[in-house]
Amino acid sequence: MSTLSSSHCSASYSSTSNARRQRSTKLSSIPKRFVPVKSARNSYQNVVLLQDGAVSSTMAPIENDSTLKKLKDGLLSATSSEECEDVVGFDGNDKNSTVSITVVGASGDLAKKKIFPALFALFYEDCLPEHFTVFGYARSKMTDAELRNMVSKTLTCRIDKRENCGEKMEQFLKRCFYHSGQYDSEDNFTELDKKLKEHEAGRVSNRLFYLSIPPNIFIDAVKCASLSASSANGWTRVIVEKPFGRDSESSAALTNGLKQYLAEDQIFRIDHYLGKELVENLSVLRFSNLIFEPLWSRQYIRNVQFIFSEDFGTEGRGGYFDNYGIIRDIMQNHLLQILALFAMETPVSLDAEDIRNEKVKVLRSMRPLQLEDVVIGQYKSHTKGGVTYPAYTDDKTVPKDSLTPTFAAAALFIDNARWDGVPFLMKAGKALHTKGAEIRVQFRHVPGNLYNRNFGTDLDRATNELVIRVQPDEAIYLKINNKVPGLGMRLDRSNLNLHYAARYSKEIPDAYERLLLDAIEGERRLFIRSDELDAAWALFTPLLKELEEKKIIPEYYPHGSRGPVGAHYLAARYNVRWGDLSIEQ
C-alpha cells in the first residue's frame, strides 16, 4: 500500500488527538473554577465545580442565563462530552478531506457484534469526520440495502441520549455501502476503489481498512487492498485483528507478509483489551497518584494477579479456538499487554513510541514461561439444577480427543531491578462460574505491625490489596484495615471503593469505539508494535511447543466451576492466594 501520504495526513490527525489529550490536562489543572461542560448539542448540561480543590457535578440543565454567564466568565474550556466535537472540528470538518472505512469481512460475527455498532456510536457522539463513508466488503452477495438492514439490527443507542437515536441511525445507515468481492482478487478491490472514489468526490481521501476476516486470508486481502485500493493522495491504514500468528515463527511470517505491502506505521494491530476504560486508566492511576507510584515495586508489592474468566464456553467459535487455546487467545495478548502496561518503567512522555518502547523493555526483561509454572485445564460437562452444560469436546467443531486448554494459570517473572522475585500470576478460563476481568495487586505485610495480634495468625488477611475491576461493573477498590466502630479494638478489612456506575453518570464507551477513533486519528499508543509482538511471542512460544509436543493432558474441570485445583497449588508454590477466590473479594 502506498506509504507516501500516510505521514502527511496522520500528522494532521495526530494533532487532533494531541488536542484531545491536552484538553483533559487543561481541565485537571484548573483549580477553584467553574467549568461548564458543553454537551454535544451546545446546551450546558454537565457542570463540574472545582472549588478549593473540591469537585462536584450536576446533570441538571442550566436554564438561567445569568448563571451561565457567571460560569462562562470564570471558565476555560470544556471536556468529556464534547471531546469528539472538537476533534472533528479540527480537521474532520475539513471540506477537502474524507475518511472511508472499509470493513473487510463485513458479513462476519465481529463486524456485526462490534465494528458496526462502534462506528455508529462514534457517529452518534459526533466523533466521525463530516465526510466519511463506511463500506462493507465480503464474498457474500448483498445489496447496500441488505447491508443496511443487517447493520441496523446490530445498532443500539447510548442509554443517556436516546431521543434522536432513530434519526441518527437513519443518517448513519445512509453512509453505509457494500461491495461483494473475493479477498484475493485485485480486480474486485479495483471495483471497490472505484466506488470509494465516487464517494470521496475529489476530496483528499483517507482510507481505513479493518481486516475482520480469518487470519489465513490477511495477506491476500492486504495485498489486494494495497495494490488496488490504496488512497492516492491521503493516508491508508489497516487494522489487523488477532490472532497475530500462533507462535514466534508464524507471527514473524505474518509481520513480513504485511510489511511487503504496508509500512509499520500503517499497521494497527488491535488488542481490544487496551481500549477498555480501566486499562486506559491504569497509567493514570499509577503515574498521577503519589500514594501509588512510590509503592509500585518489589519493595511493597508482593504479587500481582491478572484474572480473566468467562461463564460460557467456546460456543460457536470452537473451530477457531481449538487451533489456539486459551493461552494464545487471552494470555499471550490481552493479559500480557495489561501486565506490560502495569509493570513498565515511566515513559519519557505519553507519546505512542515512548510508551511502546517501555512496554517492549519490560517484556524483554521477562523470563520465558516454564512448564512447571503453568497449569492447564479443559472444561467437562456438568449437570446442575436439571440442566446439562456441555463439555468443550461436545462442540461439533472440536475433535473429540482435543487437548486444547480452555483454562490456564501461569506464574511469570520480570528479571529487572524493580520486579525481581515478584510473581506475576495470570489466570484465564472459559466456562467458569463467573464472568470478569481484573487486576489484583497484593501488598506486603506492614513490618512490625502494632495491630498484629488483632489479626490472629493469618497475617495475609491483613495485607492491603488494590483491585482494578476491568469488567463488568468497573471499579477500583483498595482493601484497608480499619477499626470497627465501638468501644473495643476490633479491626476489619474494608474497601475504599471507586465504583464507576456510582461516580460517573456517563456510559463507558466500548473498547472498539476508542480504538477505531484512535486509528482514524493516527494515534498508535493502544496498538501493538511489531517488536512488542515478537517479545510477547518469545515468552510463550517455547512453552506452547512443549505443551503440544509432550501432549500434556489438561486437568478437567466441571463447566461452571471455579476451575482446576492445580491453579491453587501453583499459586501456593509462590506463597500466593488468588484474590478472586478469597471469602471477601
Ligand X SMILES: NC(=O)C1=CN([C@@H]2O[C@H](COP(=O)(O)OP(=O)(O)OC[C@H]3O[C@@H](n4cnc5c(N)ncnc54)[C@H](OP(=O)(O)O)[C@@H]3O)[C@@H](O)[C@H]2O)C=CC1
Residues in contact with ligand LXAUTJHC by the rule CB under 6 A: 272, 310, 329
DSSP state of 444: P
Residue whose CB is less far from ligand X, 223 or 302: 223
Minimum separation from the CB atom of position 243 to ligand LXAUTJHC (A): 8
**Interaction partner, residue 212 (ligand X, ligand LXAUTJHC, none; CB < 5-8 Å by kind):** ligand X
Could you tell me which residues are beta bridge partners of residue 48?
Answer: 35, 57
Minimum separation from the CB atom of position 49 to ligand X (A): 42
Minimum separation from the CB atom of position 342 to ligand LXAUTJHC (A): 18
Q: Quick one: which of 215, 275, 347, 423 contacts ligand X (CB under 6 A)?
A: 215
Of 120, 126, 183, the closest CA to residue 148 belongs to 120
Residue whose CB is less far from ligand LXAUTJHC, 144 or 311: 311
Q: Which of residues 87-146 bind ligand X (CB under 6 A)?
A: 105, 107-111, 138-140
Q: Which of residues 46-85 bind ligand X (CB under 6 A)?
A: none
Side chain identity, residue 210: Y
SS3 content of the chain, % helix, strand, coil (to 5): 40, 25, 35
Residue whose CB is less far from ligand X, 241 or 373: 241
Residue whose CB is less far from ligand X, 111 or 267: 111
d(CA 569, CA 556): 15
Q: Which residue has the cell 500470576?
A: 425
Q: Which of 334, 433, 445, 559 is catalytic?
A: 334
Of 35, 181, 163, the closest CA to residue 103 belongs to 181
Can you give the C-alpha Rg of the chain in angstroms? Answer: 25
Residue whose CB is less far from ligand X, 240 or 375: 240
Cα-Cα end-to-end distance for the chain: 50
Per-residue DSSP letters for 139-160? SS---HHHHHHHHHTT----TT
Angle at 575 between CA 573 and CA 580, to 5 degrees: 105
Element (H or E) spanning 138, and its range? strand 132-138
**Interaction partner, residue 329 (ligand X, ligand LXAUTJHC, none; CB < 5-8 Å by kind):** ligand LXAUTJHC
Closest residue to ligand LXAUTJHC, based on beta-carbon distance:
329
Residue whose CB is less far from ligand X, 182 or 585: 182
Show Cβ contacts of residue 337 under 8 Å, excluding neighbours closer than 6 positions.
Answer: 271, 273, 274, 279, 359, 528, 536
Minimum separation from the CB atom of position 331 to ligand X (A): 14
- How many Cα atoms are found within 13 Å in the side-chain-facing hemisphere of 580? 26
d(CA 69, CA 535): 55
Kindly state whether residue 213 participates in binding ligand X, applying the rule CB under 6 A. yes
Show Cβ contacts of residue 74 under 8 Å, excluding neighbours closer than 6 positions.
Answer: 33, 34
Site string (171-190) toward ligand X, x via CB under 6 A: ------------x-------
**Interaction partner, residue 193 (ligand LXAUTJHC, ligand X, none; CB < 5-8 Å by kind):** none
How many residues bind ligand X (CB under 6 A)? The answer is 19
Phi, psi dihedral angles at 49 (to 5 degrees): -105, 120
**Interaction partner, residue 138 (ligand LXAUTJHC, ligand X, none; CB < 5-8 Å by kind):** ligand X
**Interaction partner, residue 140 (ligand X, ligand LXAUTJHC, none; CB < 5-8 Å by kind):** ligand X
Kindly state whether residue 325 participates in binding ligand X, applying the rule CB under 6 A. no
Element (H or E) spanning 352, and its range? helix 352-364
> Do you know the residue count of the chain?
585
**Interaction partner, residue 257 (ligand LXAUTJHC, ligand X, none; CB < 5-8 Å by kind):** none
Of 137, 108, 143, the closest CA to residue 224 belongs to 137
Minimum separation from the CB atom of position 250 to ligand X (A): 14
Kindly state whether residue 251 participates in binding ligand X, applying the rule CB under 6 A. no
Could you tell me which residues are beta bridge partners of residue 387?
Answer: 384
Binding piece for ligand X, criterion CB under 6 A, among 7-15, 206-214, 404-412, 567-575:
206-214
Element (H or E) spanning 388, and its range? strand 387-389
Residue whose CB is less far from ligand X, 81 or 107: 107
Residue whose CB is less far from ligand LXAUTJHC, 229 or 544: 544
334 is an active site residue: yes
Which positions are annotated as active-site residues? 334
Interaction site with ligand X (CB under 6 A): 105, 107-111, 138-140, 183, 212-215, 217, 241-243, 320
